[in-house]
């Protein structure tokens, strides 16, 4: 791992002026209280499916991940809800009858 302490520019074109190599084991030992571990699920647009994994994270930095073989129903629900929130209701496979019903319900709310 490389930790940049002094850099300039945008993320992909940044110039690193000062950095040091860090061993993952040292990072995990020294920052153990800040490392979180858990399971998460999300919709993968490329695969067109829910992806569930066990992750070890330091903030937004994923230190390790392992795919889950058995996905709890709550994780599937979380992944689907996140996808709908991100992509909107139009991403769902509405039938014409369901679209008309949704439009009528929306009119009632106005």
Question: pTM of the full predicted structure?
Answer: 0.65
For residues 58 and 85, state if they share a domain: yes
**Residue range of the domain that includes 12:** 1-30
Examine residue 106 and state whether it is found in any structural domain, yes or no. no
What integer pLDDT is reported at residue 94 of this predicted model?
A: 92
17 within a domain of the structure (yes/no) = yes
Residue 78 lies in a domain: yes
Contact between residue 26 and residue 58 where contact means Cβ atoms under 8 Å apart: no
Q: What is the chain's mean pLDDT, rounded?
A: 92
**CA separation for the pair 81, 91 (Å, rounded):** 12
- Give the pLDDT mean for 70-88: 92
Q: Which two tokens stand for residue 96?
A: 């014409």
Question: What residues have CB less than 8 Å from 76, skipping those under 6 apart?
Answer: 41, 50, 52
The answer on 78 and 50 residing in a single domain is yes
Question: How far is residue 53's CA from residue 70's CA, in Å, rounded to a whole number?
Answer: 10
User: Does residue 42 lie within any of the structural domains?
Assistant: yes
The CA distances from residue 17 to 10, 23, 49, in Å, are 14, 20, 41
- Confidence band (pLDDT; 50, 70, 90) for 12? confident
- Does 110 reside within a domain? no
- Length in residues, the chain: 110
């Amino acid at each position: 791992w490389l930790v940049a302490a002094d850099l300039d520019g945008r993320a992909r074109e940044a110039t690193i002026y000062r950095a040091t190599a860090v061993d993952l084991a040292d990072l995990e030992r020294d920052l153990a209280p800040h490392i979180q571990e858990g399971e998460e699920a999300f919709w993968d647009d490329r695969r067109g499916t829910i992806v569930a994994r066990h992750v070890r994270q330091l903030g937004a930095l994923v230190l390790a991940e392992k795919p889950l073989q058995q996905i709890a129903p709550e994780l599937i629900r979380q992944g689907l809800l996140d996808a709908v929130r991100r992509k909107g209701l139009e991403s769902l496979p509405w039938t014409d009858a369901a679209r008309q019903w949704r439009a009528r319900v929306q009119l009632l709310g106005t």
